[in-house]
Structure formats: C-alpha cells, structure tokens
C-alpha cells in the first residue's frame, strides 16, 4: 500500500503521464491486490473452477470498482469523515445489487453458479480498500485509473487461476455465451481406454490456494524487493 | 442520496423484471424435467416441456381439482397452474384453505409420473424443489432441489445430483411423518434418506418440506386411487 496520494499534483497532467501509468501498472504487478496485498481471496478461491465464472466475476468487480471509485471520489468533499464507511457501503451495495440484477437477467446460468459470491462483492476488501485509500483523497480521473488498475490486477489473477484449474480439472475451457468446450479427445481418457484422467483435486477450493500460491512464488522470486522477512 | 440510490435500484429492478421472469420460468421447466430424470438446457426446455408434462393441475388443500391446463405454457395466463407462485404462497400468512397447489402430471416411457413442487426453509433462506412420484403415488421416481443462499459446500449441496439421487426408489409413508431426513436414513428406512454432513438444518428443511407438501396432496392421491379401484 505505498502508492497512495502520489497522484495529487496541482498541474493538469496528460492521460499517460508517469503518475497515471503508475496507477494503472502497479496493481497489475508490484502491488497486486491478490498476490501482494492478499485481499479478495475468498472470491478468488470460490469461483475459479471455470473460466466463464471468473470472466463474469472479474467484469462485475471491475464495474463496481470503477463505479464506486468515481462516485466516492466525486462526493469526497461532501462526505463527513465520521460516516464515510457507511456512505461507501451504500454506494458499493447499490452497485452490487445492480450487477446482480443484470446478471440474473442476461446470464442466468452463471449467475446461479456465482450464487452468493456476487453479493459478497460488497464485502470484497479490495473495493472498500481502494475507496478508503484512494478515492477519498483523489480526483475522479486518477480514481478511475486506480480502479481499472486494481480491477485488472484482480482479474488477471482470477483468469490465470481459473484457466489452470479448468484445463487440468475438467479438460475444458469455457467462456460466457459459449458454454464449456471440452478440447481433449474423448478416447484419451482412461474411462474410454486412454491414458489420461482429469485431476479432480483441481476442482476443489484448496487447489485455488495452491495455484495462487504458485503465482505469488513466481512473482516474488522474480522481484526480490517484494519478499518480506 | 437515499432518493438517488433508491430510484436507481427500483429502475434496474423494474426494467429487468420481464427477462428475469422468463429465466425463472425456463429454470422451473428445467427443474421439473430434472426431477423426471430428463436433462435439458434452458434453451431446449420450452420444447421438451410439453413432450413430457401432459397436464398441469391446480388443487385446493383438500385435493379437489380446481383447474387443468394442457399444451404449451402461457406465461401471462394467471390461471395456468405453472404460473402459481408456490414460494410466495409459502411466505404468505394465508391459511392453506385459501391457496391452490400445482401438480404436474407427466408421462415418460409410457409411465405416468406426478411431479410435486415443494417449498421450505433452509438455514439462510428459502429452499425448493420438485419431487416426482411414480403412478402408485408412493415410490419416488426422482427429485431435484435448489436453494437461494445456503452455505456453499454444506447446505448448498442439496442441489447436487448425489443428494437428489438418494431419493430414487424411496417411498412416501402411509401416515405422518411422510418423509424424513436423518443420519443413517438412506440405509435403514424406506421412508428416509441421509442428510448432508454440516448441512443439518438445510437437510431437515428438505425433509420438512416434502412431508408438509405431501400431506396436502394426500387428499388428491386418495381420490385418484379410489376412483381407479371402483
């Protein structure tokens, strides 16, 4: 959490100034909400069995994050300090309900699989954390970038974990609107005389933790500055 | 602020309602067919439904037939038993004498099968499902359950097939309690199945809803049995 408040500059800056690029890039790597700050783990473990769920979940979180950051950033001078958490909660909760309703209408199957985890976006620490740490102290412009950065930081970990889990766990890849595509030939499987078997452990939640752990491991071994004692 | 949030939510909810209703109806067809052991998708459900479900009945609480619908489901016809909102009825405080209860008479491979919608309470919210009975109106042909927000991994497992498959071949008892769920029930009793470890309240809720609903339909089943004997 070291990037806060660095974006406040008196001068108007271009969209791709150094600060703005930092806002977008840092959460993808060196201050990634999942792998470095270890926030939002609950949903990352629960919904990464299939890629299509992860895609929808990522989009939902991205939407709530951008919406929340912009609204709170716009209201930042109006919100009394003592009730700011309540105001943030109202904003997030309203956005999450909208997402939930839209999913129920347009993606009923995936909405069903995500079940309570869409509602649990309300308590996703990443979103609350960004509102509290960034949007309350910054203009809407940088806040949007911060939201996109963190949302994408969350999304790529989710997508990576779900791709690994779905390929090894179900031998398939799924995308919203496409359904699940099993790409391994059927006669590879032991059940039809082949040599291959899906790894059922991959479907179970603990494996998500292991995969996230591996990502954290790779990331820290490449950048030793991230290693804490 | 409250006004803005309130109106934004109300607008979203209202504008998406028709689509959500259609999805819910599709889902209901998928679940009814699921209880019959027919696996289908949301898209195909509409075509498959009339193939298996021959008659849609609504009954009063004593088992008298109030209304019969056949053919395709009309989503706006409120007299169609398919459109009876059993979940809403369950929540309402109205006595059973004022409610009507849907029953689906289906045919699969020449066998007559009765599908009964059941609604009850789990740990965190409503649970519901469909129980299919064979033509003797005792043996369970299949079942399908779903829930609003039971604990994932525990109570939420009622929607999985491993749980609903245990109901196949079980029987409804002749007297109360018509069906129960308890530990060891699968092996020792013909009128019971095992609950789910860690999901006791949800499991008991499933047993309770089957028992309660079956007791309402008993009147109809008796009248059918009597008329076929005469």
Token pair recorded at residue A85: 């958490």
Look at B12 and A101 and tell me if their CB atoms are within 8 Å: yes
With tokens 């459109």, the residue in question is B83
Q: Does residue B4 fall inside a structural domain?
A: no
In a domain, A67, yes or no: yes
Q: Which domain holds residue A95?
A: 38-223
**Statement: the pTM of the whole predicted model exceeds 0.90:** no
Q: How far apart are CA B81 and CA B59, in angstroms?
A: 9
SS3 B75: coil
Is A12 inside any structural domain?
no
Helix (H) or strand (E) holding B25: helix B2-35
Q: How far is B53 from chain A (nearest CA, A)?
A: 23
Q: Within chain B, which residues score under 50 in pLDDT?
A: none
**Any domain includes A219:** yes
Report yes or no on A208 lying in a domain: yes
**Is B14 within the bounds of a domain?**
no
Bridge partners of B171? B139
Ordered per-residue pLDDT tens for chain A, 229 residues: 444 444 454 455 666 677 778 888 888 877 888 888 788 888 888 888 889 889 999 999 999 999 999 999 999 898 888 998 899 999 999 999 999 999 988 888 888 888 778 888 888 888 888 898 889 888 898 899 999 999 999 999 999 999 999 888 888 888 877 777 787 777 777 777 777 888 888 888 888 889 998 998 888 888 877 777 6
Q: Is residue B5 part of a domain?
A: no
Q: Of B2, B6, B9, which to mutate for an interface test with A (greatest number of A Cβ within 10 Å)?
A: B9
Residues contacting B170, CB < 8 A, separation 6+: B139, B140, B179, B190, B191, B192, B193
Domains in chain A, number: 1
B chain contacts of residue A104, beta-carbon cutoff 8 Å: 16, 20, 23
Q: Is residue A140 part of a domain?
A: yes
User: Chain B residues with CB inside 8 Å of A102's CB?
Assistant: 12, 16
Q: At what angle do helices A140-170 and A18-25 cross, to 10 degrees?
A: 30
Which residues of chain B does A205 touch, with a Cβ-Cβ cutoff of 8 Å?
A: 153
Contacts B7 to A, Cβ<8 Å: none
B160 belongs to a structural domain? yes
B120 forms bridges with which residues in the sheet?
B127
Q: Identify whether the C-beta of residue A154 lies closer than 8 Å to the C-beta of residue A126.
A: yes
Q: Is residue A118 part of a domain?
A: yes
How many Å apart are CA B52 and CA A111, to the nearest integer? 27
B125 touches chain A (CB under 8 A): no
Q: Residue B139's domain spans which residues?
A: 23-229
Helix (H) or strand (E) holding A110: helix A108-114
* Min Cα–Cα distance to chain B from A67, Å: 13
Tell whether B18 is covered by a domain. Answer: no
Q: Give B177→chain A minimum CA distance, Å.
A: 32
B45 touches chain A (CB under 8 A): no
**Is residue A197 assigned to a domain?**
yes
* Omega of the bond leading into B177 within 30 degrees of 0 (cis): yes
B170 found inside a domain? yes
Per the CB < 8 A criterion, the answer to whether A70 and A127 are in contact is no
Sheet holding B140-147, edge to edge: B65-70, B53-59, B101-108, B111-121, B126-133, B140-147
Residue A143 lies in a domain: yes
Number of domains in chain B: 1
């Amino acid at each position: 959490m070291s990037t806060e408040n660095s974006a406040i500059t008196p001068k108007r800056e271009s969209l791709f100034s150094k600060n703005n690029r930092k806002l977008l890039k840092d959460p993808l790597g060196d201050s990634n909400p999942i792998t470095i700050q270890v926030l939002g783990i609950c949903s990352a473990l629960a919904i990464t069995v299939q890629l299509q769920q992860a895609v929808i979940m990522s989009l939902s979180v991205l939407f709530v994050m951008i919406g929340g950051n912009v609204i709170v950033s716009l209201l930042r001078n109006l919100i009394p300090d003592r009730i700011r958490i309540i105001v943030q909660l109202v904003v997030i909760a309203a956005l999450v309900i909208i997402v939930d309703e839209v999913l129920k209408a347009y993606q009923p199957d995936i909405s069903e699989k995500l079940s309570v985890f869409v509602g649990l976006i309300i308590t996703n620490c990443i979103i609350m954390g960004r509102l509290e740490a960034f949007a309350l102290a910054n203009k809407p412009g940088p806040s949007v970038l911060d939201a996109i950065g963190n949302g994408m930081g969350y999304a790529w970990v989710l997508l990576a974990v779900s791709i690994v889990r779905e390929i090894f766990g179900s031998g398939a890849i799924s995308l919203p609107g496409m359904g699940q595509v099993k790409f391994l030939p059927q006669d590879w499987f032991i059940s039809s005389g082949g040599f291959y078997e899906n790894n059922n452990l991959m479907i179970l939640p603990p494996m998500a933790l292991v995969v996230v752990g591996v990502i954290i491991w790779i990331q820290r071994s490449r950048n030793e500055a991230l290693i804490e004692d | 602020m409250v006004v803005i949030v309130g109106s934004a939510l109300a607008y979203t909810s209202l504008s998406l309602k028709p689509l959500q209703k259609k999805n819910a109806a599709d889902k209901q067809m998928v679940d009814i067919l699921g209880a019959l052991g027919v696996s289908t998708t949301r898209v195909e459900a509409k075509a498959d439904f009339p193939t298996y479900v021959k008659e849609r009945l609504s009954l009063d609480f004593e088992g008298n037939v109030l209304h019969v619908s056949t053919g395709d489901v009309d989503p706006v016809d409120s007299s169609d038993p398919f459109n009876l909102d059993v979940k809403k009825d369950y929540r309402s405080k109205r006595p059973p004498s004022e409610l009507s209860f849907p029953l689906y008479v289906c045919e699969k491979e020449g066998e007559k099968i009765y599908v009964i919608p059941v609604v009850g309470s789990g740990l965190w919210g409503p649970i519901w499902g469909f129980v299919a009975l064979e033509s003797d109106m005792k043996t369970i042909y299949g079942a399908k359950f779903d829930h609003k927000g039971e604990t994932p991994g525990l109570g939420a497992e009622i929607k999985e097939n491993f749980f609903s498959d245990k109901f196949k071949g079980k029987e409804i008892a002749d007297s109360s309690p018509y069906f129960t769920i308890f530990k060891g029930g699968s092996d020792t009793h013909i009128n019971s199945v095992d609950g789910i470890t860690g999901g006791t309240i949800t499991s008991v809720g499933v047993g309770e809803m089957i028992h309660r609903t079956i007791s309402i339909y008993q009147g109809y089943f008796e009248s059918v049995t009597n008329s076929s004997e005469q």
